[in-house]
Amino acid sequence: MTDAALTSNALEVRDLSRTFGARKALDGVDFDLPTGAFLSIFGPNGAGKSTLLKVLSTLTPPSKGSAKVLGLDVVEGAVELRERIGFISHNPLLYPDLSAEENLEFFAEIYCIDRPKERIRELLDAVELDHRRLDLVRTFSRGMLQRLSIARALLHDPALIYLDEPYSGLDPHAMDILDGLIERVREGRTFVMVSHDLSKGLELCSHALILSKGRIVLFQDKDLIDEDEFHQTYRSTVGLGVS
Amino acid sequence: MSSWRQFKAILKKDIVMELRTKEMLTSMGLYALLVLVVYYITLSQAGADFEVRRIAAGLLWLVFIFTSLLGLNRSLVHEKDQGCLEALLISPTDRPVIFFGKAVGNLIFLLIVEALIVPLFFFIFLARPGAQAGGPVWMLALALILGSIGIAGVGTLLATMSVNTKGKDFILAVLFIPIMFPLLLAVVAGSAAVLQADPEYVRTFWQMMGLAAGYDVIMLLAAFGLYEFVLGA
Amino acid sequence: MKQLRTAIVLVAIGGLLTTAAFLMAFFTAEVQQFGTVTLEQEVDTVFPVAPDQFQPPAGEGIAYVRPWFSQKIFYFHVPVAEASFLVLIISAVFAIRFLTSKRAEFDTKSRIAMETALVFVVLTMITGVLWTRASWGVWWEWEPRLTTYFIMMLMMIAYFVLRNSIEEEERRATYAAVFAVVAAINAPISFMITRVIPSNHPVVFQPGMASSNLLPFIIGQIGMLMIGYGIYTARMTEERLRERVEIAKEALEG
């Protein structure tokens, strides 16, 4: 048994496959991601990006192989792992008929957070929504929703955060705010982002991964990436995926 | 104990949301009133000597089964629309807690609608001068509770599936009514026994309540066991 | 292809057996003293009425003023009904195996078993309706067992409606499996609950059923199960071929 805290890799994915009948959503995916890294996953539609995210976030078990997140197996350690991961999606994952504060209170109860009031105050301050805390989420703009959804994801102070197309549907201003927020909470956390937006993904990441047809086409440290070559690889996989 | 806290949170959230929007209660209540109007039309040509009491139990449960479809659908659409169910699944909440949280919420709303409709139904259709008296009210209440438990439990399972399909409302009805058949038969027979209060009705009533309770136990266990698979898909 | 041949052989033998049972019912089986059938009123039928010795004792309902001819359908109706029940249970067992293993083959098996069950339930309904017409003089009677089969048919149709309304394969398979299990639990409960309420359906298995009746019945039952298994195997073969075509297609494209 290795102690979870001592493992230096946030993700250890071994020969991970996810199949259903003849269809292979993931086919022998294998990589390590060090703690504190920012991984961007690219790939055409149907490449297996969301399936990979689902497996890593304990929503679907792998058919073959294994995945360890923060040193915990996604199947056996699922319950413990869920306490330590956060999730930000293009969907806000908030109840429109509850106020900002009530939404956070609800998720604070779900995560069994001690002293929820203070934590919620602190987070609402951080995402600059304190003045709107009593308003219904229904009335929020897209950018405000995304900020509140970040606050929700940070409630339980997760060590790893998944981002599923967080930029889709945001205007440039909201994008900047989101960038700033991610930058601020990046310290000490690992990020895994699925994105269509190549430039945004490359700008933020420390590691890049291209998936196509459930296989890894490229997995590289950002420092080693030659951008032109990277774009070319990406274009060729997208081309392949479309046929 | 964390499960209890999560259960309370889910229930409280549903109640707060409902009290704010009154979406489910108004739609269910209004729908029930509309059905009562249709009942009036149905019975208007039956003649003066037609005893409504003989079919009252069936009419009553017909309102509830269709209004409950409405409520169940709403309740799960709330979770589905903004992807909130996903947020719950990724949190350290046991799947059964989600099931019971949603099912108990649905049960409460259903019972509220029933508590409003039953007296109304009674005054509109049954309170005639010279009409024979039925059995005690608590018996009818027991039948309603046992029926509603089954509706809420199985309904929550089936509605969780149907919100993820094309044509959710229709699919829910198609799945729900055949599965509800044995329970409906038992509670209608039980409620009819109480309303008609024929001699020996107490025996029939308890027999039917036994069947309804048996159905509830078996189906709740099944729904409880299967819910995790539905959520995982 | 071997499986397809097996399927054809099974259906052929099954067909022969059920036909044999049906003929035996006419030529060798005695007329069975069925349980008392109580009707509100007598109904005229075109068929000959059962002889006096097969009528229930006077005063126990107006039972068999019905044609004795009508009970011949029993040798077809009951085997088909029992087979449909059995296949539904098999479908649910495959569904559970699918849920625990998440392997697509069990989903296919469960689905095809459900198809077979639906065919049998529809046959049960048709023979049942013929029976009620011949025996009780009405086309449809909300009689518990017929009602149960009606419900079973609705559940099976619902199963396929559910399947058709979901795009994503794995979700479709999971939901269908969950519903198959619920349906299989529900069917016997419906059966039991409808029995508690007084019924008109004849109860056939009284102790001491004559061997001349039992034999065609058992032959009919075996034949029916073979037909069921034959249909199932044939459909499975077709499904496997389809899958192979899909894989080949994908390989060509990729």
pLDDT at C66: 45
C165–B189: do the CB atoms touch at under 8 Å? no
Q: Would you list the domain boundaries of chain B?
A: 2-232
User: CB-CB: which of C162, C170, C189 is closest to B175?
Assistant: C162
Residues of A in contact with C253 (CB under 8 A): 243
Q: Of C104, C250, C254, which is closest to A20 when you measure between CB atoms?
A: C104
Is the reported ipTM for this assembly greater than 0.85?
Answer: yes
- Same domain for A181 and A134? no
- Predicted pLDDT at C193: 82
What pLDDT is recorded for position A185? 83
Last residue of a domain, which of A111, A134, A157? A157
Asked if C102 and A20 come within 8 Å (Cβ–Cβ), the reply is yes
Residues A72 and A97 in one domain: no
Inform me whether the C-beta atom of residue B29 falls under 8 Å from chain C C-beta atoms.
no
What CATH number is associated with residue A195?
Answer: 3.40.50.300
Q: State the nearest Cα–Cα gap between B19 and chain A, in angstroms.
A: 10
Contact C174 B165 (CB under 8 A): no
Cβ-nearest to B181 among C166, C170, C190:
C190
Cβ within 8 Å, pair C175-B215: no
Residues of A in Cβ contact (< 8 Å) with B8: 109
Q: A121 and A78, same structural domain?
A: no
Q: How many CA atoms lie within 13 A of A115 on its CB side?
A: 5
| pLDDT bucket at C225, cuts 50 / 70 / 90 | confident
Claim to verify: residue A109 and residue A222 sit in the same structural domain: no
Q: Are B218 and C194 within 8 A, CB to CB?
A: no
pLDDT above 70: percentage of residues in chain C? 71
Each residue's pLDDT tens digit, C153-204 = 999 999 999 999 999 889 999 999 999 999 999 999 988 887 776 544 554 4
C242–chain A Cβ distance below 8 A for any pair:
no
CA C46 – CA B45 distance, rounded (Å)? 36
C157: contact with B, CB 8 A cutoff: yes
Let me know whether A32 and A4 are in one domain.
yes
- Cβ contact C102–A23 (<8 Å): no
* Average pLDDT value over all residues in chain C: 77
Looking at beta carbons, which residues of chain A come within 8 Å of C173?
A: 20
Give the residue with greater pLDDT, A240 vs B48. B48
**Residue in the block written with tokens 């705010």:** A177
Percentage of residues of chain C with pLDDT beyond 90: 26
Which residue of chain C is at minimal alpha-carbon distance from A239?
A: C254
Confidence category of residue C65, pLDDT binned at 50, 70, 90: very low
Query: pLDDT value at position C35?
Result: 43
Which residues of chain B neighbour C194 with C-beta distances below 8 Å? 182, 185
In this complex, the chains that touch B, judged by 3 or more CB pairs closer than 8 A, are A, C
Confidence of residue C206 (pLDDT cuts 50, 70, 90): very low
Contacts of C174 in chain B (CB under 8 A): 229-230, 232-233
User: SS3 of A216, please?
Assistant: strand
Q: Which of B59, B70, B65 is nearest to B26 (CA)?
A: B70
Binning pLDDT at 50, 70 and 90, where does residue C38 land? very low
- Chain B residues close to C167, C-beta within 8 Å: 166
The confidence band for C127, taking pLDDT boundaries of 50, 70 and 90, is: confident
Those residues with Cβ within 8 angstroms of residue A6's Cβ, 6 or more apart along the chain or in another chain: A71
**Maximum mean pLDDT: which of A31-35, C145-149, C239-243:** A31-35
Residues A167 and A151 in one domain: no
At B137-193, the pLDDT tens digits run: 899 999 999 999 999 999 999 999 999 998 888 999 999 999 999 999 999 989 988
Least confident window among B12-26, C74-88, C114-128? C74-88
A32 with A71, same domain: the answer is yes
Whether A139 and A178 share a structural domain: no
Q: Hey, which residues 158-217 in chain C have their CB within 8 Å of chain A?
A: 169-170, 173
Q: Which residue of B has its CA nearest to C163?
A: B165
Residue C223 has pLDDT above 80, yes or no: yes
End-of-domain residue from the set A138, A157, A176 = A157
pLDDT band, very low/low/confident/very high, at C207 (cuts 50, 70, 90): very low
Whether B17 and A95 lie within 8 Å, measured CB to CB:
yes
Same domain? A172 vs A80: yes
Same domain, A165 and A79: yes
Compare C55 and A168 and report the one with higher pLDDT. Answer: A168
CB contact under 8 A, B233 and C154: no
> Cβ contacts (< 8 Å) between B78 and chain A: which residues?
95, 97
Structure confidence by residue, pLDDT tens digits, A67-93: 999 989 998 988 899 999 999 988 888
Q: Can you give the pLDDT at residue C232?
A: 87
Spell out the alpha helix ranges (H) of chain A. Answer: 49-56, 78-82, 100-110, 116-126, 142-154, 172-185, 198-204, 227-242
For the beta sheet containing A64-69, the strands, ordered from the edge strand earlier in sequence to the opposite edge, are A23-34, A9-20, A64-69, A72-73
Q: What total number of domains does chain A contain? A: 2
Residues A80 and A166 in one domain: yes
Q: Which of C88, C106, C170, C193 to mutate to test the interface with B (most CBs of B within 10 A)?
A: C193
Statement to judge: residues A78 and A166 lie in one domain: yes
Confidence bin at B100 (pLDDT 50/70/90): very high
- Residue among C170, C243, C253 minimizing CB distance to A22: C243
Which chain B residue has its CA at the smallest distance from C151's CA? B178
Mean pLDDT for the stretch of residues B44-50? 80
User: Per-residue pLDDT for A204 more than 90?
Assistant: no
Across the A/C interface, how many CB contacts are shorter than 8 Å?
20
Domain that holds residue A219: 1-84+160-243
Q: d(Cα A177, Cα A146) in Å, to the nearest integer?
A: 10
Which pLDDT score is estimated for C36?
42
Query: Rounded to a whole number, what is the largest CA-CA distance in chain A?
Result: 54
Q: What is the SS3 string spanning chain B?
A: CHHHHHHHHHHHHHHHHHHHHCHHHHHHHHHHHHHHHHHHHHHHCCCCCCCCHHHHHHHHHHHHHHHHHHHHHHHHHHHHHCCHHHHHHHCCCCHHHHHHHHHHHHHHHHHHHHHHHHHHHHHHHHCCCCCCCCCCHHHHHHHHHHHHHHHHHHHHHHHHHHCCCCCHHHHHHHHHHHHHHHHHHHHHHHHHHHHHCCCCHHHHHHHHHHHHHHHHHHHHHHHHHHHHHHHHC
pLDDT of residue B47: 77
